[in-house]
Amino acid sequence: MEASPEHLARSTAEAVDLMLVVAEPWFRSLETARRSVTLAVDLGIPTVAVIANKLRDAEDRAAVAAFCARHGMEVFAAVPYDETLGDAERTGAAPVDHAAGAPLVGAVDQLVDRVLELACW
């Protein structure tokens, strides 16, 4: 199932300062991200970038980086595929509570820090 840019098509994103588009390292996901980024830029959103999600290895990371570079898209953050997410879900715990040192948790912490750096507080 493909993500829908319906909220962008209706131009309800007018008050948005930052749009982060999540993409997985597969062509359909990257193409959907490209279309969403293009639409967001056309709508005048000042900062639009990609979060590379579920990266299994350096090859996935390189594929996302290459696709984004070809299409003029910034990779804002990279989140690895991490089995601990499924483990946490099955136990009903938040990933940070289930495995605070997991790679996924560290990557999300860095992502949040980066967003907060951009925020006007």
Domain ranges of the chain: 1-81, 84-121
- Please report the pLDDT score of residue 99 as a whole number: 92
- Tokens (6 digits) for 72: 């003029």
Backbone angles phi, psi at 52, to 5 degrees: -80, 120
Angle at the Cα of 51 (from 45 to 56), degrees rounded to 5?
165
Threshold 0.85, pTM exceeds: yes
Q: In this structure, are residues 50 and 78 in contact, taking their beta carbons and an 8 Å threshold?
A: no
- Tokens (6 digits) for 97: 């509570």
Q: What's the CA gap between 84 and 26, in Å, rounded?
A: 22
- Please report the pLDDT score of residue 109 as a whole number: 96
- Please report the pLDDT score of residue 5 as a whole number: 64
- Please report the pLDDT score of residue 74 as a whole number: 97
Low-confidence stretches of the chain (pLDDT beneath 50): none
- Please report the pLDDT score of residue 120 as a whole number: 66
- Please report the pLDDT score of residue 16 as a whole number: 84
**For domain 1-81, which CATH number applies: 3.40.50, 1.20.1530, 1.10.3470, 3.30.1380?**
3.40.50
- Please report the pLDDT score of residue 82 as a whole number: 93
